[in-house]
Amino acid sequence: MASLTSSIRALLLLFFCLFALVLPSVAERKLETNSLNSCQANSGFTASLFNLRYIPSQNSIDVNISAVSTIEAKVKFDVAISAYGYQFYSLIIDPCELNLAGFCPMVSGNLDDPFSMMIDPKTADLVPGIAYTFPDIDAKVRIYINATSGPMAGQSVACLEATVSNGKTVDLIGVKWASAIVAGLALVSSAVLSGLGHSNAASHVAATALALTSYFQSQAIVGLVGIPLPPVVQSWTQDFQWSLGIVNTGFLQNIYTWYQRSTGGTAARIIDTLASVSVQVQKRSEPSVSSGLGLFRRAEAIMPRSLSSHASILAKRGNVKTDYGTYIVYGIQRVAFRAGIETTNIFLTGIVSFYVIMVFAAILVGLFKGTCEFAAKARWIKGDTFLEFRNGWLTVLKGILFRITLIGYAPVTILSLWEFTQRDSAAEVVLAVFFLLYVNVGLFWAAYKLIRIAHRSVALHRNPAYILFSDPQTLNKWGFLYIQFRASAYYFIVPVLGYTILKAFFIAFAQNAGTVQAIALLLIEAGALIGASVLRPWMDKKINSFNIAICAVNFINAIFLLIFTRIFDQPDIVTGVVGVVLWILNAAATLILLLVLIITTAIVFFTDNPDGRYKFMGDDRTSFMKSQSQLTPNGELDALGVTARGDKIGYGSGLDDNESLRQPSFHRTPHSRPQSMNQQSRRH
């Protein structure tokens, strides 16, 4: 046993000296790896747990390992060191020439004890300077142990691979909070502007905020694909998983686990067993390492590959565990693991997050209604302040809940469909069916209502904008579907919903077919980019440019995902460089879009006439929307009089639900085309 221990320590020392050439550490300057993976079938050395950390200031290596060696022969080490897929260093080491104790020859046995060992201080000087600061560096050391004696002479008896990290990452809590706060405040700002009567400004801010939130979700969805992703791509996409509701809340995770177990499911314990079992986060496609290793063969079978390797079957896909005890995570499970969430809890995590937001939104709207009424009676605010909201707050609340449903449509659909392949428990499958039907039936029914209202408006007034924008009840309840589009493109919400559900199907059901996912996403994003560029359906030139830019970045991301599948059989260094380019591109796009949203929202709030900052749109919507900046003093007095009588301004036109198709009682000739404000001013 002592001989085995000394041989293992010598091997680890060799490992460190080699990957010290690849990476330094940061802050406290450290090098670490959390798994020692086998990279060939029937490997004579395997480890179910491996944690190694080197701190230069202490000149020591701390190791926690649980390994088994079956090698009894003289050996040589064939070493290869690579960074970003580029192998820049290789050598052959004869342990007998170096007098490495325990390796001339190697002996069999178990090793389960943690230990530390000192190293030469000069080793740190071998590390290149750039590696000290570059985040999520993609580096690894691979060693083939080749027998030179015995029955296996001339053959590889083991293959070991360690992925190296310097502790720096772009998966930052600050990025998550900043992006979430900016998007959230922009949406709240649009609601406040709408309540104050600045409908035109509110619609512009809301359209920009929704587009940015959609872009955040698109980046997060890139992280969900069952495709091997470079470390920097994994980390960057992890920054936006909050937009899909994937947020780790400790006490809720305990509730989810309890619920799953109480409904007949078996909860995963990957996070709980990290102290005793290593987890391989899949980064790069590896060659098949086994065709006869029981559970490991199953792991290989469901790892992402081209469609020609295996068919995409909707079978239960639980956690993948290799024959030597380590777990392999990829796709949606990879995102859950990196978020510190058990893979069997991610469905409930995403679903509950959005419906908790809906409950809080309903509570806040109710509290705001009560506060406004109290303040108006106490004469702390003017009688007409938030008047439209106070009179129709229930309709406004319905519109807000519908808007949250639209924002949560992508994650709820993806996670519900994915739950069908996991079947964590019977109750969770029932929940998945319910929520999938709820969001899809609700949104498509709303889209159907919108189209019928618009058709009625065209039939009566030859203009879809008339009913859609003149009636506050219709605007506040259904406006989330069309207000970001020009009036003639009110229908564009249907292609948007179709685009989302198509992506959801491929993300959820093709987790084990990365190439299929990549090709499908490429076609979907290409269609979205072409449609956006040709139709230009959004409300004005700036919003169109904003959304087309997002579609272009999403299309480029889809191209990069196709490259990550290695369908072009490109060199590994190309894959590594493309990963860095994807990060830089999306980081720059995110920063620019955030700044645009922040600046435009701030300018609107510090402008005396927010609506005046935006040009009147060609669809005449501004003529039909009651903007606070256009109210006359007499109009304000009339509004106060209506309030005093207990009437509700704008909420009696009967344009909602079953009455939405009846002829409205407007003071115009039903079949005459309404004149816009611009036309009236020119006539006078």
The 10s digit of each residue's pLDDT in 666-675 is 444 444 444 4
Whether pLDDT at 549 is above 90: yes
Nearest to 243 by CA among 270, 224, 271: 224
Residue 233 resides in a domain: yes
15 and 151 part of one domain: yes
229's CB contacts (< 8 A; 6+ apart) are 222, 223, 237, 283, 564, 579
Contact 82, 28 (CB under 8 A): no
479 and 583 part of one domain: yes
Contact 277, 325 (CB under 8 A): yes
217 and 142 part of one domain: no
When computed from its CA atoms, the radius of gyration of the chain, rounded to whole angstroms, is 30
Instruction: Give the SS3 label for residue 327.
Output: strand
Residue 409 resides in a domain: yes
Give the pLDDT confidence score for residue 642 in this predicted structure: 43
Cα–Cα distance between 508 and 415 in angstroms, integer? 7
Mean pLDDT, rounded, for 245-262: 92
216 and 133 part of one domain: no
Beta-carbon count within 10 A of 637 CB: 12
Question: Measured over all CA atoms, what is the biggest interatomic distance in the chain, rounded to whole angstroms?
Answer: 104
Give the pLDDT confidence score for residue 325 in this predicted structure: 60
Highest mean pLDDT among 58-72, 113-127, 512-526: 512-526
Domain boundary among 613, 630, 645: 613
Nearest to 564 by CA among 550, 551, 577: 577
Contact 102, 4 (CB under 8 A): yes
Q: Residue 623 — pLDDT band, cuts 50, 70, 90?
A: low
186 and 107 part of one domain: no
Whether pLDDT at 265 is above 90: no
pLDDT in tens, 422-477: 999 999 999 999 999 999 999 999 999 999 999 999 998 888 888 888 888 888 88
Domain boundary among 594, 613, 632: 613
Residue 603 phi, psi dihedral angles, 5° rounding: -60, -40
Nearest to 452 by CA among 433, 467, 439, 441: 467
In whole numbers, what is the pLDDT of the chain averaged over residues?
79
Higher pLDDT, 157 or 549: 549
Nearest to 275 by CA among 590, 3, 51: 51
pLDDT in tens, 209-231: 999 999 999 999 999 999 999 99
Whether pLDDT at 10 is above 60: no
Assign residue 27 the CATH number of its domain: 2.70.220
Cα–Cα distance between 50 and 47 in angstroms, integer? 6
Task: Tell me the two tokens of residue 564.
Answer: 């990550």
Q: Hunting for tokens 């680890």 — which residue is that?
A: 12
Number of domains into which the chain is organized: 2
Residue 57 burial (10 A CB sphere; 0-12, 13-18, 19+) = exposed
pLDDT in tens, 77-111: 887 877 777 777 777 878 787 676 666 777 787 77
144 and 187 part of one domain: no
Whether pLDDT at 158 is above 90: no
Percent of the chain clearing pLDDT 70 (strictly above)? 74
225's CB contacts (< 8 A; 6+ apart) are 331, 507, 514, 517, 518, 521, 561
Residue 624 resides in a domain: no
470 and 608 part of one domain: yes
Instruction: Return the axis-axis angle of helices 231-238 and 572-605, rounded to nearest 10°.
Output: 20
Contact 453, 475 (CB under 8 A): no
Rounded to two decimals, the pTM is 0.81
Give the pLDDT confidence score for residue 216 in this predicted structure: 97
Give the pLDDT confidence score for residue 494 in this predicted structure: 96
Looking at the chain, how many residues does it have?
684
Lowest mean pLDDT among 102-106, 213-217, 390-394, 396-400: 102-106
Residue 547 resides in a domain: yes
Looking at the DSSP bridge assignments, the partners of residue 461 are none
Mean pLDDT, rounded, for 266-295: 59
Strands 327-329 and 279-281: parallel
565 and 523 part of one domain: yes
Quick one: three-class SS letters along 350-369? HHHHHHHHHHHHHHHHHHHH
Whether pLDDT at 266 is above 60: yes
Nearest to 138 by CA among 47, 235, 53: 235
Residue 647 resides in a domain: no
Q: Hunting for tokens 């292609």 — which residue is that?
A: 495
Q: Any idea what DSSP says for residue 616?
A: P
Which residue range forms the structural domain that includes residue 458? 173-192+202-245+344-613
Whether pLDDT at 376 is above 90: no
Contact 304, 514 (CB under 8 A): yes
131 and 209 part of one domain: no
Task: Tell me the two tokens of residue 138.
Answer: 């993609």
Task: Tell me the two tokens of residue 418.
Answer: 């994915």
pLDDT in tens, 589-600: 999 999 999 998
What sign for the dihedral angle of Cα 666, 671, 677, 681? negative
Residue 336 resides in a domain: no
Cα–Cα distance between 326 and 252 in angstroms, integer? 27
| Strand boundaries in 446-514, DSSP class E | none
Mean pLDDT, rounded, for 36-43: 78
Instruction: Return the axis-axis angle of helices 173-195 and 199-224, rounded to nearest 10°.
Output: 150
470's CB contacts (< 8 A; 6+ apart) are 624, 625, 666
Looking at the DSSP bridge assignments, the partners of residue 66 are 49
Mean pLDDT, rounded, for 49-64: 77
99 and 187 part of one domain: no
Whether pLDDT at 272 is above 50: yes
Cα–Cα distance between 438 and 382 in angstroms, integer? 40
Residue 355 burial (10 A CB sphere; 0-12, 13-18, 19+) = middle
Residue 309 resides in a domain: no
Mean pLDDT, rounded, for 645-673: 43
| Strand boundaries in 187-341, DSSP class E | 279-281, 320-321, 327-329
Give the pLDDT confidence score for residue 59 in this predicted structure: 73
Highest mean pLDDT among 45-59, 149-163, 401-415, 470-484: 401-415
Contact 160, 143 (CB under 8 A): yes
180 and 147 part of one domain: no
412 and 519 part of one domain: yes
Contact 484, 206 (CB under 8 A): yes
Both ends of the chain: CA-CA distance in Å?
102
Lowest mean pLDDT among 102-106, 255-259, 552-556, 614-618: 614-618
Residue 259 resides in a domain: no
Whether pLDDT at 617 is above 90: no
Give the pLDDT confidence score for residue 645 in this predicted structure: 41
Q: Any idea what DSSP says for residue 165?
A: B
Domain boundary among 588, 613, 638: 613
Cα–Cα distance between 651 and 639 in angstroms, integer? 13
